């Protein structure tokens, strides 16, 4: 089957806390990454995943990339809603990724029920990929559910919840409505990464040293899902292993251009 190609970008490989929302724009210093390739599952008929199963991945160069192809090795970033984030080396040529997230850890928010009604309750993942230089491969077009597999021996340990981010809105965001994010724990300075489903790059934002509250103004059009991930100054060194990134419980928010905030 042809590769279902999606796109992404990556910031530093760091420790994250994160939130899910519909639309975000930021007053912080922003930088979008360069999209130089596409990635995808080589067999992508089912948006669900099984824990401890290894999946084959593929990449293709971006036709609009005039600087050349991407640079191996490659890294897959899996943001778990309400769980942990993993950054996994997937190889240089024959790419593969083992799902180490646990099934059954997340209950979908009712405001996103129309987007994820087809999948059972379980760990939900937003997936992205980057090359060795941090160039973008794109954000997956699905929020993927992790289901039980034939084994559970690969599953990651329970994360430390001390590094957290909370939000002043946990229901629906209206167009142009401010969204306040409060960061607790970790080691400042902080950075925020925003990724939207089925887009070419992620956006990286620098939070000024000494600040732990960030306000986003919703200026984007409705429909879709965006993830906001906060990382501190502690950087994980990615070698030949899976790095587990500690994150707190998440919030699910959607944007409604007509009605006001609901909770």
Output the pLDDT for position 121: 55
0.75 surpassed by pTM: no
Show Cβ contacts of residue 106 under 8 Å, excluding neighbours closer than 6 positions: 80, 81, 82, 83, 121, 122, 123, 124
Q: Residue 27: is its pLDDT beyond 60?
A: no
204 forms beta bridges with 31, 193
Of the segments 10-14, 72-76, 137-141, 249-253, which one has the largest average pLDDT value?
72-76
Tell me the average pLDDT across 173-186.
76
Q: Chain-wide mean pLDDT for the chain?
A: 68
pLDDT recorded at residue 231: 75
pLDDT at 39: 93
Minimal CA–CA distance to 140: which of 20, 2, 9? Answer: 9
Q: Does the pLDDT of residue 81 top 50, yes or no?
A: yes
Domain extents in the chain: 14-256
Question: In the structure, what pLDDT confidence band is assigned to residue 74 with cuts at 50, 70 and 90?
Answer: very high
Is pLDDT of 236 > 50?
no
pLDDT for residue 142 is more than 80? yes
Distance CA 131, CA 95 (A): 12
Integer Cα distance of 195 and 79 in angstroms: 10
Task: Give the model's pLDDT for residue 172.
Answer: 64
Q: Are 215 and 27 in contact (CB under 8 A)?
A: yes
Read off the pLDDT band of 19 (50, 70, 90): very low
What is the predicted pLDDT for the residue at 53?
95
């Amino acid at each position: 089957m042809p590769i279902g190609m999606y796109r992404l970008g990556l910031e530093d490989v760091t420790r994250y806390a994160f939130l899910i929302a519909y639309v975000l724009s930021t007053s912080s210093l922003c930088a979008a990454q360069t999209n130089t390739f596409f990635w995808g599952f080589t067999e992508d008929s089912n948006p669900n995943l099984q824990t401890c199963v290894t999946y084959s991945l593929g990449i293709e160069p971006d036709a609009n990339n005039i600087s050349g192809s991407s640079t191996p090795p490659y890294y897959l970033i899996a943001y778990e809603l309400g769980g942990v984030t993993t950054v996994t080396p997937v190889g240089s040529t024959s790419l593969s990724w083992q799902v180490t997230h646990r099934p059954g850890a997340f209950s979908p928010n009712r405001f996103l029920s129309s987007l994820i009604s087809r999948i059972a309750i379980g760990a939900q993942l937003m997936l992205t990929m980057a090359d060795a230089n941090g160039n973008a491969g794109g954000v997956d077009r699905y929020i993927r559910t992790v289901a039980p597999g034939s084994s559970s021996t690969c599953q990651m340990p329970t994360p430390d919840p001390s590094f957290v981010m909370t939000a002043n809105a946990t229901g629906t965001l209206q167009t142009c409505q401010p969204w306040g994010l409060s960061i607790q724990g970790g080691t400042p300075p902080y950075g925020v990464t925003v990724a939207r489903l089925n887009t070419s790059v992620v956006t990286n934002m620098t939070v000024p040293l000494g600040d732990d509250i960030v306000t986003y103004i919703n200026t984007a059009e409705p429909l879709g899902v965006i993830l906001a991930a906060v990382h501190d100054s502690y950087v994980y060194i990615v070698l030949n292993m899976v790095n587990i990134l500690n994150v707190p419980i998440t919030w699910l928010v959607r944007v409604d251009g007509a009605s006001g905030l609901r909770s």
